[in-house]
A and B are shown apart, each in its own frame.
Chain A
Amino acid sequence: MLKEKVIIAERLTKSFGDFIAVDHISFEVEKGEIFGFLGANGAGKTTAMRMLCGLSTPSSGKAFVAGFDLFQEAEKIKKNIGYMSQKFSLYEDLTIRENIQFYGGIYGLSKKQIQDKASYLVEHLHLQHFQNNLVKSLPLGWKQKLAFSVAIVHDPAIVFLDEPTGGVDPVTRREFWELIYDASERGITIFVTTHYMDEAEYCNRVSIMVDGRIEALDTPKELKKTYDSASMDEVFLKLARKAVRGE
């Protein structure tokens, strides 16, 4: 069964002068997949992701995101992707409802759609008592979950998550991943970068970047076999140790 490919990257490269941040990477991501994009700091994963999101222009190579050409049809891509940054991307001085209204609005959702989405989200995340409070009053874990939900408010084909679980405890992280599973089951492809190796285990497939190149790409199970390791942590250490580039 040929699954639809939502991301196709062919020899994607980004260089800044002499420094090659992303070195001719090629890979594919299937629809509904939870794809983990791992690598040490400085390996180039954030740069790679930014290219796929349309935040930065590749120096060379080709890419197709949600079926659209990265170079020619960037505008169409933007309508079909979601993004959640490390800083969670919510406006602290707006209420939960107002944040949802804003993001729904800029993705062109109708008023009714926004209303429905907002009610659904508030219920789903158990935020009924807080929906008219300013986001700044929410605890970190809740902001995180809300940020994710808002990133997919327009039901995009793919959502890009840039180290979304920074700074929260393991229980909250687990709850966050429940939301990710939910979204994946609904057909949304998840492209997530992370430092936490236990989260790597939650992904369908994982790629590990070292010095701008993809050194490994497979399911966590296969990777552990290939590298004779008991955990993804070990796999990562074995690969990352080869790295020439530091932080």
Chain B
Amino acid sequence: MKQFLAFVKKEFFHIWRDKRTLFILLGMPITQIIIFGFALTNEVKNTKMAILDFSKDASSSQLIQKMSISKYFDPTTVLLNYQEVEPLFKKGKVKMVLVIPQHFANDLQHGNQAHVQLICDGSDPNVANTLSTYATAIIKDFQNTLVKEQKLPYRIETDIRMMYNPELKGAYSFVPGVMALILMLTSAMMTSIAIVKEKEMGTMEIILVSPLKPFGVVIAKAVPYMLLSMVNVATILLLSVFVLDVPIRGSLLLLLSEGLLFTITSLALGLLISSITDSQQVAMLISLLGLFLPTTVFSGYMFPIENMPLPLQIISNIVPAKWFYFIVKTIMIKGLGFSYIWKETLILVGMTVVLFGISIKKFKTRLS
């Protein structure tokens, strides 16, 4: 028994002395619960919406009022005609438009039946679904209130139209998300492991002694993974278009260029990771926890960022995948051009430059 306990004691020492792993083991449950507890909300709150009210009568105003009061919706824009709807969605300013046709009150009073239309941004199918469900519920509620008050069998029919995604296919949000994830894994994780492997094997020293500039070494390591990543992008796109029926409505060239940009951003991240560790295992661990997890949670493809508490929203801004996801969605699903994504593209470029800068500095200090 004593021998056994001696061994157990030693094992505790191992765990205790490995502060890094300890931190992960004990810290992970806490971070997971907090992040997933708050981020895992498919609820919507204060969603920006627009109103297109052709009736402008008492009943329509009442309905609009009801929408405003609800904590789910925040009618920020008032539209005057149908032509204004599309550009609003293009810019991503609202997630839903409520259209009340003419003679709303009249139809209710005299026909006991009226229609309203909900137009939702289908490029985010999960959100669109939730929004339309909530909105429909509110409208139903309004209808029931009228019935109770007026004792007449009012009926309000709700037509739902999903922009960009009429069949509300889940794959529309899924594909861009997967693309971001795969690129992050191939480029960042594999590159960092490749560089660290060289250090572990001891061959890095030889290379440093050779006339090859350290920068050249890094680029040389990155090139095969960059090519692999582009192959992956092509594969994902092919499968999406032909198997999942997800369209590429925008420019393919633009999409591929942005894909290349994001690949380079991920490479820069991989480079940074490789410069802070000498062990392949640690590199992999950091990649998985520091890249994979945030990309899944904060890119916006599973959980809408707008519904996260503010601190988490701020954090999501430093996750490159978030910007890439937006860019891919805008090009693929909304079919829009560069003028709609130049800001996000600039952010990615900026991140890449900063990441490269830090890594190069770290590389240089290691040498001295």
| Bound pair (A, B) | yes
- Give Cα A53 to B208, complex, Å: 9
Residues of A within 8 A of B212 (CB): 106
- Asked if A132 CB lies within 8 Å of chain B CBs, one says no
Known A85-B202, A86-B202, A91-B203: A53·B210 in contact at CB below 8 Å:
no
- Asked if B3 CB lies within 8 Å of chain A CBs, one says no
From B201, B203, B210, name the one whose CB has the most chain A CB atoms within 10 angstroms: B210
Residues of B within 8 A of A79 (CB): 211
Residues of B within 8 A of A54 (CB): 208-209
- Give Cα A107 to B209, complex, Å: 10
Known A56-B367, A57-B367, A57-B368: A87·B202 in contact at CB below 8 Å:
yes
- Asked if B205 CB lies within 8 Å of chain A CBs, one says yes
- Asked if A192 CB lies within 8 Å of chain B CBs, one says no
- Smallest Cβ-Cβ distance to B206: which chain A residue: A89
Question: A7 to chain B: closest CB distance in Å?
Answer: 15
Known A89-B202, A89-B203, A91-B203: A55·B211 in contact at CB below 8 Å:
no
- Give Cα A72 to B367, complex, Å: 16
Question: A135 to chain B: closest CB distance in Å?
Answer: 11
From A86, A88, A89, name the one whose CB has the most chain B CB atoms within 10 angstroms: A89
Total residues of chain B contacting the partner, CB 8 A = 13
Question: B277 to chain A: closest CB distance in Å?
Answer: 19
Known A86-B202, A87-B201: A81·B368 in contact at CB below 8 Å:
no
A106 touches B205 (CB 8 A): no
Known A79-B211, A87-B201, A108-B211: A55·B367 in contact at CB below 8 Å:
yes
Residues of A within 8 A of B211 (CB): 75, 78-79, 106-108
For B134-146 the 0/1 string (1 means CB < 8 A from A) is 0000000000000
- Asked if B207 CB lies within 8 Å of chain A CBs, one says yes
Question: A16 to chain B: closest CB distance in Å?
Answer: 11
Which A35-88 residues sit within 8 Å CB-CB of chain B?
A: 53-57, 75, 78-79, 81-88
- Smallest Cβ-Cβ distance to B216: which chain A residue: A106
Question: B322 to chain A: closest CB distance in Å?
Answer: 37
Which B255-299 residues sit within 8 Å CB-CB of chain A?
A: none
Total residues of chain A contacting the partner, CB 8 A = 26
Residues of A within 8 A of B201 (CB): 87, 91-92
Question: A100 to chain B: closest CB distance in Å?
Answer: 13
For A172-190 the 0/1 string (1 means CB < 8 A from B) is 0000000000000000000
Choose one: A81, A85, A91; the contact of B205 (CB below 8 Å). A85
Residues of A within 8 A of B210 (CB): 78, 103, 106-107
Residues of A within 8 A of B206 (CB): 83-85, 89, 103, 151
Which B230-263 residues sit within 8 Å CB-CB of chain A?
A: none
B209 touches A55 (CB 8 A): yes
Question: B363 to chain A: closest CB distance in Å?
Answer: 13
Question: B224 to chain A: closest CB distance in Å?
Answer: 14
Residues of B within 8 A of A106 (CB): 207, 210-212
From B203, B207, B211, B368, name the one whose CB has the most chain A CB atoms within 10 angstroms: B211
Question: B367 to chain A: closest CB distance in Å?
Answer: 7
- Give Cα A78 to B203, complex, Å: 16
- Smallest Cβ-Cβ distance to A87: which chain B residue: B202
For B188-209 the 0/1 string (1 means CB < 8 A from A) is 0000000000000111011111
- Smallest Cβ-Cβ distance to B209: which chain A residue: A83
- Smallest Cβ-Cβ distance to A50: which chain B residue: B205
Question: B308 to chain A: closest CB distance in Å?
Answer: 45
Residues of A within 8 A of B205 (CB): 55, 83, 85, 89
Residues of A within 8 A of B209 (CB): 53-55, 78, 81-83, 160
Residues of B within 8 A of A85 (CB): 202, 205-206
For A84-115 the 0/1 string (1 means CB < 8 A from B) is 11111111100000000001001110000000
- Give Cα A53 to B367, complex, Å: 12
Which B326-365 residues sit within 8 Å CB-CB of chain A?
A: none
- Give Cα A78 to B201, complex, Å: 21
- Smallest Cβ-Cβ distance to A150: which chain B residue: B206
Question: A146 to chain B: closest CB distance in Å?
Answer: 13
Residues of B within 8 A of A84 (CB): 206
- Smallest Cβ-Cβ distance to B212: which chain A residue: A106
- Give Cα A89 to B201, complex, Å: 8
- Give Cα A54 to B208, complex, Å: 8
17 contacts between A and B (CB under 8 A): A55-B367, A56-B367, A75-B211, A79-B211, A82-B209, A83-B209, A85-B202, A85-B206, A86-B202, A87-B203, A89-B206, A91-B201, A91-B203, A92-B201, A106-B207, A106-B210, A160-B209
For the A-B complex with A75-B211, A78-B209 known, give 18 more contacts whose Cβ atoms are closer than 8 Å.
A54-B209, A55-B205, A57-B368, A78-B211, A82-B209, A84-B206, A85-B205, A85-B206, A87-B203, A88-B202, A89-B205, A89-B206, A91-B201, A91-B203, A106-B210, A106-B211, A107-B210, A107-B211
List the 4 closest pairs (A to B, CB-CB), nearest first.
A87-B202, A83-B209, A57-B368, A89-B206
